[in-house]
């Protein structure tokens, strides 16, 4: 047999490992490689320099559970059935998941951190799961991170810091540094890398729960930001208008602006959580290197959605402005591959639905017919991307072609149009600008083609009519946006697992 034939056979037998890192509620602009001068993200910056960055990446439904269903099924919300956040909705039983497809192809698979599925111990196709579900064990399963705390003599102490899972109060971490959830996720994932089956390729899903609130950074990381300028929230004329869309006005009333000094410290604390995660990712890369498999590993980094962080007077997610809907997305191929140009930028429009078909394609695994997504390493491109969030009077819909973005609020029938090329901060609504009426009409037609279900009630004879906005009142937040309690003794199973807690 010739050397060329032997090499070809070896190449055909090679199967790369996959390290899939997901963070929670981290905006796509909040990285050094993305031009942010205030935050330290050296590890993730290096990933971007080692692979491809997709700056036009969006969460099709920027809410935790729907976004993760999209991520794990390769489908849009219309296909997987959730655009509103349904805590007790199981993963579609007849739909292949990212994990189950890799298992079927012979991969050893594990998930560490946040899955955000129901029931909480559903492995959704993974062979092993080690979960940290932010205090949701009452939804039907023990939490591995809370077991760990108990074993370390801190049973039920996860939330003794007193911060809410959906608010922007903050304080430094209250337990020893090694007990922080970010450290536990890293340590557990690194252990899974060490204990891999060397006869099989591995798929490691590592899902960090932060920087999503509660905002509880380690003291050492907050200290490095204490005197640093972290930037001010974006302010726009449209976000201060009296006729603000109902959903936005509701958010502004619920989460009042913080005084400048408090805002700066909150943002420093948020950044501190990000840098902590960035440094912990180094240990995952180090574990791969020491195991001798780093060069044989595909790495992807992304987030389920972002956070407005006070921009335009709003906080958290749900909305289709860049802070909330634009996500980081970096793809690094294995070292010998020539498919991707290290340090490059790919401007194509992509969504979370595209990650599953991309990874499967890169590992030479057939993509299930159920997938809506498009591989990001192929030649196929989409001309527009559709997004949807919530139903009823708080609903919003989005259509972007990569340059222009149309946002529709059915309650009150409000439209917004932004030119992301000249106005990346979305400061100027071009909806009524005469020079952009042709663009507005084109995007409206594309948006209308995407609507389905109850949305069709907001269309009359091919025209957007929306619905009447209710009277605006300030919500009564008795539950402190989903505040957790003391988790020992263990919580009983919730009588209503479908109850939505918090407003974030």
Whether residue 119 is preceded by a cis peptide bond, meaning omega within 30 degrees of 0, is yes
Total structural domains within the chain? 2
Q: What is the pLDDT along the chain (504 residues), one digit of tens a residue?
A: 344 444 455 556 899 999 999 999 999 999 999 999 999 999 999 999 999 999 999 999 999 999 999 999 999 999 999 999 999 999 999 999 999 999 999 999 999 999 999 999 999 999 999 999 999 887 878 999 999 999 999 999 999 999 999 999 999 999 999 999 999 999 999 999 999 999 999 999 999 999 999 999 999 999 999 999 998 999 999 999 999 999 999 988 888 788 999 999 999 999 999 999 999 999 999 999 999 999 999 999 999 999 999 999 999 999 999 999 999 999 999 999 999 999 999 999 999 999 999 999 999 999 999 999 999 999 999 999 999 999 999 999 999 999 999 999 999 999 999 999 999 999 999 999 999 999 999 999 999 999 999 999 999 999 999 999 999 998 888 889 889 999 888 776 666 777 776 654
- Residue 460 and residue 351 share a domain: no
- Residue 394 and residue 268 share a domain: no
CATH number at residue 360: 3.40.720.10
Task: Give dist(CA 69, CA 374) in Å, integer.
Answer: 16
- Residue 332 and residue 222 share a domain: yes
- Residue 264 and residue 412 share a domain: no
Torsion of CA 45, 47, 51, 52, to 10 degrees: -50
- Residue 348 and residue 324 share a domain: yes
Residue 104: phi and psi, rounded to 5, are -60, -30
Task: Give dist(CA 9, CA 157) in Å, integer.
Answer: 54
Domain boundary among 364, 382, 400: 382
- Residue 416 and residue 292 share a domain: no
CB-side exposure of 329: number of CA atoms within 13 Å? Answer: 27
Task: Give 200's contacts (C-beta < 8 A, 6+ positions apart).
Answer: 106, 107, 108
- Residue 182 and residue 130 share a domain: yes
Q: Residue 260: left if φ>0, alpha if ψ -120 to 50, beta else—which one?
A: alpha
Domain hosting 406: range is 385-473
Specify the pLDDT at position 3: 44
- Residue 404 and residue 315 share a domain: no
- Residue 286 and residue 426 share a domain: no
Task: Give dist(CA 6, CA 116) in Å, integer.
Answer: 45
**Crossing angle of the two packed helices 181-194 and 144-151, in degrees rounded to 10:** 100
The answer to whether the CB of 107 falls within 8 A of the CB of 203 is: yes
362-365 long-range CB contacts below 8 Å, 24 or more apart?
362/16, 362/298, 362/333, 363/15, 363/16, 363/18, 363/102, 363/105, 363/107, 363/201, 363/298, 364/15, 365/101, 365/102, 365/105
- Residue 390 and residue 337 share a domain: no
CATH number at residue 417: 3.30.1120.10
Which 8-state DSSP code applies to residue 360? H
State pTM to two decimals.
Answer: 0.96
Is 481 part of a structural domain of the chain?
no
């Amino acid at each position: 047999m010739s050397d060329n034939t032997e090499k070809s056979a070896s190449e055909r037998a090679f199967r790369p490992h996959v390290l899939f890192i997901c963070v929670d509620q981290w905006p796509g602009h909040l990285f050094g490689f993305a031009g942010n001068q205030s935050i330290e993200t050296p590890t993730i910056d290096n990933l971007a320099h080692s692979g491809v960055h997709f700056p036009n990446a969006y969460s099709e439904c920027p809410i935790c559970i729907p976004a993760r269903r999209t991520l794990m099924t390769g489908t849009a919300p219309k296909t997987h059935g959730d655009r509103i956040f349904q805590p007790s909705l199981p993963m579609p039983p007849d739909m292949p998941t990212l994990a189950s497809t890799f298992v079927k192809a012979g991969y050893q698979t594990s998930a560490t951190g946040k899955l955000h599925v129901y029931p909480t111990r559903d492995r959704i196709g993974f062979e092993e799961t080690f979960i940290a579900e932010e205090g949701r064990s009452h939804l039907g399963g023990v939490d591995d991170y809370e077991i760990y705390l108990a074993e370390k003599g801190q049973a039920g102490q996860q939330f003794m810091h007193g911060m809410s899972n959906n608010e922007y109060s903050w304080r430094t971490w209250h337990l020893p540094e090694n007990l922080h959830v970010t450290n536990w996720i890293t340590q557990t994932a690194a252990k899974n890398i060490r204990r891999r089956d060397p006869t099989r390729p591995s798929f490691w899903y590592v899902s960090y729960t932060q920087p999503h609130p509660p905002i509880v950074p380690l003291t050492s990381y907050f200290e490095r930001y204490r005197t640093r300028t972290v930037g001010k929230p974006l302010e726009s004329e449209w976000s201060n208008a009296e006729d603000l869309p109902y959903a936005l006005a509701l958010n502004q009333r619920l989460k009042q602006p913080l005084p400048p000094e408090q805002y700066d410290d909150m943002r420093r604390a948020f950044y501190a959580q990000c840098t902590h995660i960035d440094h912990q990712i180094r240990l995952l890369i180090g574990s791969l290197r020491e195991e001798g498999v780093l060069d044989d590993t595909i790495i992807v980094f992304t987030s389920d959605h972002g956070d407005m962080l006070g921009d335009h007077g709003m906080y958290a997610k749900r909305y289709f402005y860049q802070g909330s809907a634009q996500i980081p997305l970096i793809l690094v191929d294995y070292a010998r591959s020539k498919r991707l140009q290290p340090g490059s930028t790919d401007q194509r429009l992509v969504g979370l639905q595209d990650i599953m078909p991309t990874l499967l394609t890169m590992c030479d695994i057939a993509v299930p017919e159920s997938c809506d997504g498009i591989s990001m390493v192929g030649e196929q491109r989409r001309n527009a991307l559709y997004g949807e969030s919530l139903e009823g009077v708080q609903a919003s819909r989005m259509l972007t072609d990569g340059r222009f973005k149309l946002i529709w609020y059915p309650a009150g029938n409000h439209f917004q149009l932004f030119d992301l090329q000249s106005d990346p901060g979305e400061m100027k609504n071009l909806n009524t600008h005469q020079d952009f009426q042709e663009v507005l009409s084109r995007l409206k037609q594309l948006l209308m083609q995407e609507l389905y279900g109850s949305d069709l009630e907001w269309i009359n004879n091919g025209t957007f009519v929306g619905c009447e906005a209710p009277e605006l009142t300030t919500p009564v937040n008795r539950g402190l946006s989903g505040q957790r309690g003391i988790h020992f003794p263990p919580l009983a199973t919730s009588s209503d697992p479908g109850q939505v807690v918090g407003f974030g």
